[in-house]
Each structure stands twice: as structure tokens, then as C-alpha cells.
Amino acid sequence: VSRFEGITMAPPDPILGVSEAFRADTHEMKLNLGVGAYRTEELQPYVLNVVKKAENLMLERGENKEYLPIEGLAAFNRVTAELLFGADNPVIKQQRVATVQGLSGTGSLRLAAALIERYFPGAKVIISSPTWGNHKNIFNDARVPWSEYRYYDPKTVGLDFDGMISDIKAAPEGSFVLLHGCAHNPTGIDPTPEQWATIADVIQEKKHIPFFDVAYQGFASGSLDEDASSVRLFAARGMELLVAQSYSKNLGLYAERIGAINILCSSADAATRVKSQLKRLARPMYSNPPVHGARIVANIVGSPPLFNEWKEEMEMMAGRIKSVRQKLFDSLSGKDNSGKDWSFILKQIGMFSFTGLNTAQSDNMTNKWHVYMTKDGRISLAGLSSAKLEETIGILRLLLV
Ligand code: PLP
């Protein structure tokens, strides 16, 4: 008898489990709208040309495989903070940002959660309802208490702004407020600039600490600066804040696990101390981060010609998703005489559309039609092509109207 007899079967992951189930399906018409990764018009994974160029450069230079320092590659940490805040942001010159390379967005969030658990005992993180499924896992795993604030309004398939504001107000003073910097996952609904300003007001008033998750910089609007404007607005008010970054989507570096945690402090001295503690937390968990993705990012963001090429490719990716979104809206509203208002599709931003399908309907999409999606009703527009659009629309109309 096994010594592991007491270990029961874990449930499949609600997001990554969708891809596992998709792979196991042998039906020829199957379609994966669950995956949070960019696909070409042929529905194939895409490696950016600018990434291939950077990798060739790295090969030519014959760089070694020595360990990185605990905080990661210095050139990466510099450019990643500059990309986020803007290179001429005073917070950079004043050295008020503690940046540590992390294991992509997830690892960076996890490191920040460990810091909260250790130095803010009892403090609560408040997260949007709904949010990316892994947020709850991350804070549970780090033993950080969390609760939800209202965000999505099913009646309008839009933002419940009043609910959001009153829940942020009601949270205990000094809570961490987790915010999606842009392209909210799974809803695709972002606050307007005026709403962001009000959110900042309330957070300041309540002495909360903003904690941004930026997993889609450049991918939402196609512009790196525009997608960082929420973070920059808060920084310009002199607030201290946390930002987890990921290069999975915007550089297509999913498997390289490259990202960073940035903690903006009110003084350079505080930033130095915070950074030393982030390193102390990282050392026993994974010692030091991997170098390959960090070098790719440092080469691309640090070289003006490659940086420009990246921006063009990002616009192309964001543009394809926007055109799929437009086509989805056109076809759904065009042939539909039910009077249903489909405009929510165009108001959403980023890789996903939150359809409003419930769990039973989402299950039906999968079990009956072999269309795979997460049970919260989220579909990835990157998983659709012009060719696949018509058949998907047929099914969606059946379920949604
Ligand atoms: N945060 C959000 C909101 C996401 O959607 C994702 C990826 O789907 C991540 C963080 C982290 O992804 P990764 O760990 O691959 O960078």
C-alpha cells in the first residue's frame, strides 16, 4: 500500500483544465476559446519576429549561463520599470521603485503576496468580482486574507462603478486594492480615465495601498503608454503602490516565465529596504530567476530599432483581436432581430469577451458543440478567425438570444 494513500485527487484547474480537456477531444470541429494566448488567423501559436531577432543576437554573442543575482538581470529590471512608469518619470530618477524580476506575472504576484503576509500581518487584499481565477489561489497560498469588491454588473454587462466605489470605501483602512491595470480579465471592462481618478481618490482617502496587476500592457489598446496610464495616474499623485508585470502576452513569452514586481515607495531609502526583503523572500523559494526571457526583454526594450519593431507587431496582434471583436459584433447584431443589445462586445477591451453565458450554457457550448471556454462565460477572441467566426456565432446566437 502506498504511503501516499491519504492524498486525494485534486480537481482540474478551472482555466488550464480547459486546454487539457480540449486536447483530449477528438472531434474535428473542436474550437478552443479558453486559452489566454494569442493565435494567428490560422489559429496557430505565434512567436514574434522581434523575439527571434533578439534570440539570434543572444546566440551570436555567445552569452553564458551563470546564475543571475536574486533580484534578476539588472538591465531587465531597469527597462521593465521604465516601460511601466515611462523612462522620464521622476519616480525612476528618484530611485523610488524597488524592482525584482519575477517568474512572470504569477510569480511576481506571489512574491508580493509573501511580502504582504510578512510585513502587513492581518491586512486584507480586496479583489474584483469576478477576477482572474488564479488571484484567489495566490493569496490563499500565501495565507493573505482577501475579499471581493463589486465590479461586474450582469444587467448592463458593464462596470458596477458605484458598487466598486462603495466596497473600496467599506474595506478596512490600509487594505491592498488589487486592480487590473488594463484589459480586465475576465470581463474586458476597464474604468474610464475619470473613473480611475475617482478610484484613486477613494483609495487615498481610505489610506489603502493600490496593487496593480499589469498582464496586458500594450495588448489592450495597442499602445504601451496608454495601457500604463492607470498606474501612471496613481504614481503621479505620489501614492505608494505595487505593480506585478508580465511579458507572457505582449511579447508572447508565455513559457519563458518573465515578469517583475515593482514596489513604488515614497523614498529611495524605503525602496532599498523593500527590495532587500523581496530578495530575502525569493531566495528560499526559487533562489534566482531564469535568464533567457530577461535577456530577450532587455534587448528589445533597450534597443530603439527592436523596440519600434515590437510596437508594430503588438499593434498587429491587438489589431487582429479588435477586428475579430468588430466582426463578432457585426454578425451578432446584424442578423439578430431579437432586440438584444450587443454593444457590450464593443465596449470590452483586450483578448477576451465576457459573453454573459452562465455555467450551464458554457458547459453546453463544450459538451454539445465542442467549443471550449471557461465556465464564467469568457471567450478568447484570439481563438477565433474569420473562418471560425461564422460557426461560433451561430452557436452563440442559439444560446444568448
Ligand atoms: N494576471 C492576469 C490578470 C492574467 O490574465 C494573467 C494570465 O493570464 C496573469 C496575471 C499571469 O500570467 P503569467 O504568469 O503567465 O505572466
Is the CB of residue 104 below 6 angstroms from any atom belonging to ligand 1? yes
Atom 4 of ligand 1, residue of closest alpha carbon: 215
pLDDT digits (tens, 9 = 90+) for 7-37: 999 988 878 888 888 999 998 888 899 888 9
Ligand 1 center to 254 CA (angstroms): 9
State whether the Cα torsion 245-250-251-256 is positive or negative: positive
**Ligand 1 center from residue 105 Cα (angstroms):** 5
C-alpha cell, 36: 489566454
pLDDT for the residue numbered 123: 98
Cα angle for residues 120, 213, 155 (degrees, 5° grid): 110
What is the best residue among 104, 109, 134 to mutate for testing ligand 1's pocket, by most ligand atoms within 8 Å of CB? 134
Q: Is the CB of 106 under 6 A from ligand 1?
A: yes
Phi, psi of 205 (to 5 degrees): -55, -45
Q: How many helices (H) and strands (E) are present in the chain, helices listed first?
A: 16, 13
pLDDT at 388: 73
What confidence tens digit (pLDDT) does each residue in 72-121 have?
A: 999 999 999 999 999 999 999 999 999 999 999 999 999 999 999 999 99
- Ligand 1 near 128 CB (within 6 A): no
pLDDT in the model for residue 338: 72
Contact 312, 376 (CB under 8 A): no
Does the beta carbon of 219 sit less than 6 angstroms from any atom of ligand 1?
Answer: no
Mutational pocket test of ligand 1: of 101, 248, 374, the residue with most ligand atoms within 8 Å of the beta carbon: 248
Q: Which of 104, 109, 108 is nearest to 294 (CA)?
A: 104
Residue 219: CB atoms within 10 A of its CB come to: 24
- Stretches where the chain sits below pLDDT 50 are none
Q: Yes or no: say if 152 and 130 are a contact pair by the CB < 8 Å rule.
A: yes
pLDDT of the residue at 77: 98
> Whats the size of the chain, residue-wise?
401
Q: How far is the CA of 215 from the centre of ligand 1 (A)?
A: 5
Residue 188 confidence (pLDDT)? 94
Q: List C-alpha distances in Å: 361 to 26, 138, 289, 345.
A: 21, 28, 41, 18
CB 377 less than 6 A from any atom of ligand 1? no
Q: What is the pLDDT of residue 216?
A: 96
Nearest atom, ligand 1, residue 108 CA:
14
**Any idea which residues carry the catalytic annotation?**
132, 213, 249
CA-proximal residue: ligand 1, atom 16 (nearest): 105
**For ligand 1, atom 11: residue with the closest CA:** 105
ipTM, two decimals: 0.99
Cell 531564469 sits on residue: 290
- Find out whether the beta carbon of 36 lies less than 6 Å from any atom of ligand 1: yes
Closest residue CA from atom 1 of ligand 1: 215
With a 6 Å cutoff on the Cβ, whether 350 touches ligand 1 is: no
The pLDDT value recorded for residue 91 is: 98
Please work out whether the CB of residue 217 comes within 6 Å of at least one atom of ligand 1. no
Work out which ligand 1 atom sits closest to the CA atom of 180: 3
